[in-house]
Amino acid sequence: MQTGRVIESTGSWYKVDTGNEIINSRLPGKFRLNEKEVTNPITVGDIVDFVINDDGSGNIRNIHERDNYITRQATHGKRGEHILVSNLDQAFVVQSIRKPKLNEGFINRFLVTCEAYEVPAGIIINKMDLAKESDLEFVEEMQHIYSSLGYPVITCSIEDKNSIEELKTNLTDKVSAFIGPSGVGKTSILNAIDPEYDYKVGGISSFSNKGKHTTTFARLIPLSIGGYLADTPGIREFGLVNIEDWELSLYFPEMIKPREECKFNTCTHVHEPNCGVIQAFEAGEIDANRYHAYINMLESLKN
């Protein structure tokens, strides 16, 4: 029996990296039957045990328990959830300052998911070479707000070698993931970090001003600086999965302490009297955009 990390999933086959070689492996049907609530019983990042068949391929016998993972609602009419990547040291939500424009709602939903599934998270704002003066003020404010909550905000541009070097420092010897919409430059950043890969880069649709999909499946790419980087398909919307409305505030770090002052255990922090979160918001201790993001997510969970 050998052990390795799944670095690519293309349907019925999985590429497993043992550290010395990569083995194309299959998964027995029983695992598919047991995992009813997810669309993929194995995801990139999973640690698996396998045996080698006579033809040199692998047969997966065991999937190790995950330390953490990032999940999203299943798409294309499928029920349940789809796990994007597992066993991460960190995950970054990638947005571009322009073309397409930054989506703060996407960022906040991503951060909530990372909190819920115990994934250390950060924010990458790409294409800073396109930024205007007003954008710079906005980014500075974002850096202040999110950094104070424990989420590093890294600005970069593939035109700026220094920013790429800073990003490489953050990725070295770690298992990381880039999550974001198509067109924000996830693959371009990867190519700048490791030019030898030279993955295909998509453009921006002139019709919708949104990115075109280039990455069609998740893959975990070994980096020359050490560690891995998960490159994932572009996601236009990031829906919350398996999070109840009553627990949502637990995944907003700035609400943890104030909610202890709430009069009611079932407080939703919207209209209740003697609510510690509302008092903190009114006192300016909770950023208005973050509070309104919480309200919007709360409403979406009730629908």
List the one residue out of 152, 146, 145 whose CA is nearest residue 284: 145
∠ at Cα 200 (173, 77), nearest 5°? 90
Query: What integer pLDDT is reported at residue 213 of this predicted model?
Result: 39
Instruction: Kindly tell me if the per-residue pLDDT of 87 is higher than 80.
Output: yes
**CA–CA distances in Å: residue 24 to residues 29, 52, 197, 217, 223:** 16, 10, 20, 16, 20
Q: d(Cα 180, Cα 218) in Å, to the nearest integer?
A: 12
**Beta strands, E only, the chain:** 2-9, 13-17, 22-26, 47-52, 58-63, 69-73, 81-86, 90-96, 121-126, 153-155, 174-179, 219-222, 227-231
**CA–CA distances in Å: residue 253 to residues 37, 164, 173, 186, 232:** 29, 29, 27, 27, 26
Helices 161-171 and 186-193: crossing angle, nearest 10°?
90
Q: pLDDT (tens digit, 9 = 90+) per residue, 36-63?
A: 567 778 999 999 999 999 999 999 999 9
Instruction: Give the dihedral of Cα atoms 275, 281, 284, 287; nearest 10 deg.
Output: 150
Query: What integer pLDDT is reported at residue 190 of this predicted model?
Result: 92
Q: pLDDT (tens digit, 9 = 90+) per residue, 207-227?
A: 334 443 344 467 899 999 999
**CA–CA distances in Å: residue 43 to residues 51, 68, 134, 141, 179:** 19, 12, 40, 36, 15
| 3-19: average pLDDT | 91
Give this prediction's pTM: 0.88
**CA–CA distances in Å: residue 259 to residues 112, 113, 121, 268, 294:** 17, 19, 23, 10, 13
Query: What integer pLDDT is reported at residue 75 of this predicted model?
Result: 62
| 229-252: average pLDDT | 86
CA 43 to chain centre: 14
Computed over every residue of the chain, the mean pLDDT equals: 88
Q: How many CB atoms lie within 10 A of CB 217?
A: 12
Q: d(Cα 10, Cα 216) in Å, to the nearest integer?
A: 9
Q: Is 37 exposed, middle or buried (0-12, 13-18, 19+ CB in 10 A)?
A: exposed
The pair phi, psi for residue 197, each rounded to 5°, is -75, -45
Q: Which domains does the chain have, with CATH numbers?
A: 2-65 (2.40.50.140), 71-77+84-231 (3.40.50.300), 245-302 (1.10.40.50)
